[in-house]
Amino acid sequence: MSQPHHRGLTVLAGPTAVGKGTVSTFIRDHHPEVWLSVSATTRPPRPGEVEGVHYFFKSAEEFDRLVAEGAFLEWAVVHGQNRYGTLRSTVDAAVEEGKAVLLEIDLQGARQVKAALPDARFVFLAPPSWEELVRRLIGRGTESVEEQQRRLETAKMELAAEPEFDFTIVNDSVQRAADELVSLMGLSATPR
């Protein structure tokens, strides 16, 4: 095909605490054929997070420099706090090589990618219910009460964005949701 295309690029977004990270971790562990983009962030690493595997951890100054250089396909301030962004060069190279590329990003980022690359595939990960989403958010227990409240407010707005997406996957079980995602990407599901 001579036209540049981004059908090999899939964007997974959805409300906070819906389990995007868990689904993408499952895919990282079980689907080496999926090229999972590693984002840059100004958030400090959590225990167990590894530079270059979970994120590229950047200082505010380094992130500013990357923004000024136009290095990001998209970037956003998430939960009113830290900045997260997808590095254009690595994603372009992987798409060019024909890899099945997956970006797990927030809604603001998904909208930026849609504006830049409208023929990418946009997948919304939805919770089984609002009550379940709240339970998952509180249950995670890694954030302060203020942070949980802030994330719930963000989640309400994010849920309303579902119709902007090409597909919805309900995260009722991590493996089932991951299987549905990889089959949407044109790859086969996890062998059982």
Using a 10 angstrom Cβ sphere, with 0-12 exposed, 13-18 middle and 19 or more buried, the burial of residue 74 is: buried
Which residues face 169 on adjacent strands? 125
- In the list 10, 42, 86, 171, the residue contacting ligand 5GP (rule: CB under 6 A) is 86
Minimal CB distance to ligand 5GP: which residue? Answer: 109
Number of Cβ within 10 Å of residue 179's Cβ equals 21
Token readout for 29 is 């562990």
- Determine, following the binding rule CB under 6 A, whether residue 105 of this chain makes contact with ligand 5GP: yes
Q: Which residues inside 22-41 make contact with ligand 5GP, applying CB under 6 A?
A: 39
- Determine, following the binding rule CB under 6 A, whether residue 101 of this chain makes contact with ligand 5GP: no
- In the list 8, 85, 114, 179, the residue contacting ligand 5GP (rule: CB under 6 A) is 85
- Determine, following the binding rule CB under 6 A, whether residue 124 of this chain makes contact with ligand 5GP: no
| 3-state SS assignment for residue 5 | coil
- Determine, following the binding rule CB under 6 A, whether residue 151 of this chain makes contact with ligand 5GP: no
Which strand ranges, in their side-by-side order, compose the sheet holding 55-57?
55-57, 39-41, 82-87, 72-78
- 123 Cβ partners below 8 Å, 6+ apart? 10, 11, 12, 13, 165, 166, 167, 168, 169, 181, 184
- In the list 76, 100, 102, 123, the residue contacting ligand 5GP (rule: CB under 6 A) is 76
Report the residue number, 85 or 127, with the smaller CB distance to ligand 5GP.
Answer: 85
- Determine, following the binding rule CB under 6 A, whether residue 78 of this chain makes contact with ligand 5GP: yes
Footprint of ligand 5GP (CB under 6 A): 16, 20-21, 39, 43, 74, 76, 78, 84-86, 104-106, 108-109
